[in-house]
Amino acid sequence: MKTGSAFFLSGAMALAAVTFAGTANAADTAPNDVAFNEMQVSESLTGMPGDPAAGADAFKNRKLGNCLACHTTTAMESELFHGNVGPDLDGAGSRWTEAQLRAIVVDAKQVFGPDSRMPGFYSLHVGKNVAEKFHGKTILSAQDVENIVAFLVTLKDE
């Protein structure tokens, strides 16, 4: 295990788990080809609906979405350590449409503006000096994004 504060794990395990743009499914939309239309991405990146249970896993996994680093949600109450850099996600599936949620996960800066602190999870618009092992790679695969979107849609208001 890593010590220190690494809040996103980036070891070899992470690499094995991620499907990279380069090796992605041929049917997947490539990161630079994702069509944003009025802060929405209507088309599934894989052409298929996502799996909400797999999405919940990717959401909490520190090597994948690690969304809990910055968000709380009651659906994950049993998990340790929720951050609050971003808003609580309870009701996100009621506040936003599926197409909007996909846009937020793919590249939050397209929705919230360039100052957003939320990383672009399927975007190649990244910061300076990206570590070599992450060059040209996205944090999540198209499949991970679809699964997480399918999970977010389930976060309805009571």
Partner 1 sequence: MKTRLTIISLAGGIALGCFAGLAHADPVDDTLEIDGQPMITRAPAPEGHPFDEVLSGWLFREAETRAVEADSFQNPGMLEVERAAEIWSTPEGTAGKSCETCHGDVSESMKGVGAHYPKWDKDANRPINIELQIDKCRTEQMGAEPYKFDAKDQKAMTALIKNQSLGEPMSVDLSQGDMQSWWDRGKDTYYTRTGQLNLSCSNCHEDSMGNMIRADHLSQGQVNGFPTYRLKQSALVSLHNRFRGCIRDTRAEFPKAFSDELMALEVYVTWRGTGLSVETPAVRQ
Query: What is the H or E stretch that residue 101 is in?
Result: helix 98-106
Q: Among 30, 54, 70, 75, which residue sits at the site for partner 1 (rule: CB under 8 A)? A: 70
Binding letters toward partner 1, positions 114-143, x by CB under 8 A:
---x-xx----xxxxxxxx-x--x-x----
Under rule CB under 6 A, residue 76 binds ligand HEC: no
Touching partner 1, residues 17-56 (CB under 8 A): none
Cα distance between residue 135 and residue 129, in whole Å? 9
Q: Report the b/e string of 52-77 with b at 16+ CB within 10 A.
A: bebbbbbbbbbbbbbbbbbbbbebbe
Q: Report the b/e string of 97-115 with b at 16+ CB within 10 A.
A: ebbbbbbbbbbbbbbeeee
CB of 83 to ligand HEC, least distance (A): 7
Cα distance between residue 54 and residue 22, in whole Å? 22
**144, burial (CB in 10 Å: exposed 0-12, middle 13-18, buried 19+):** buried
| Beta carbon nearer to ligand HEC, 25 or 61 | 61
Under rule CB under 8 A, residue 16 binds partner 1: no
Cα distance between residue 152 and residue 87, in whole Å? 14
87 binds, among partner 1, ligand HEC, none (CB under 5 to 8 A by kind): ligand HEC
The footprint of ligand HEC (CB under 6 A) covers 5, 59, 65-67, 69-71, 85-87, 89, 92, 95, 101, 104-105, 108, 112, 116-119, 121, 148, 152
The footprint of partner 1 (CB under 8 A) covers 3-8, 10, 62, 66, 68-70, 72, 77, 79-85, 117, 119-120, 125-132, 134, 137, 139
